[in-house]
A = this chain, B = another copy of it.
Amino acid sequence: MFSVRIQEAPFDAAAEVARLAQGRTDVGGIVTFTGLCRADAGADGAGLKALTLEHYPGMAEEEIERHVAEARARWPLLGAIVVHRHGRLVPGDPIVFVATASAHRAAAFAAAEFLMDWLKTSAPFWKKEERADGADAGGWVEAKASDDAAADRWARD
């Protein structure tokens, strides 16, 4: 079961995981990552009131599908699910969910981390912050060098 979805609605992580393992007995390990909106996510440490995620419809799905295909080429995956939300989210809200299934844990861990690292740097999503203090209403989150470095770990020359 391989699936990529972009949606505004919350997701049910347990239901997604159930889809990976249901009715099969060859899955030995399932890794999930859930990314959440943090209250202190702002660049200057000031409180965050909300994030609005803009995305490029069509390309977002296609780009993540390409990541999933690349992950399947690198590791023996039995399933993978990616759900990415868009729209307005407040601290504590889940933003992104990645789940990978494999016979063995190492492949599931590596593929989940690979998908997240790639998502961060090449999935066409952009975050705009609303600050709790109202001081800077409308700052676009800047890309982090640490995310580029994380994605570069997987580069193949």
Q: Tell me if A138 counts as interface (CB < 8 A to partner B).
A: no
Tell me the bound Cα distance from A33 to B98 in angstroms.
12
Identify the closest chain B residue to A27 (Cβ).
B36
What is the number of residues of chain A that contact chain B, defined by CB distance less than 8 Å? 34
Contacting pair B38 A17 (CB below 8 A): no
Chain B: which residue is nearest A105 at the CB level? B116
Contact of A21 among B31, B36, B103, B108 (CB under 8 A): B36
B28 and A41: CB pair below 8 A? yes
Partner among B26, B29, B33, B106 whose Cβ is within 8 Å of the Cβ of A108 = B33
A-B contact pairs, 19 of them (CB 8 A): A13-B14, A14-B14, A25-B40, A26-B38, A26-B40, A27-B38, A28-B38, A29-B35, A30-B33, A30-B34, A31-B31, A31-B32, A31-B33, A31-B112, A33-B105, A35-B105, A40-B103, A105-B113, A109-B113
Binding site for B on A (CB under 8 A): 12-14, 17, 21, 24-41, 91-92, 103, 105-106, 108-109, 112-113, 116, 150
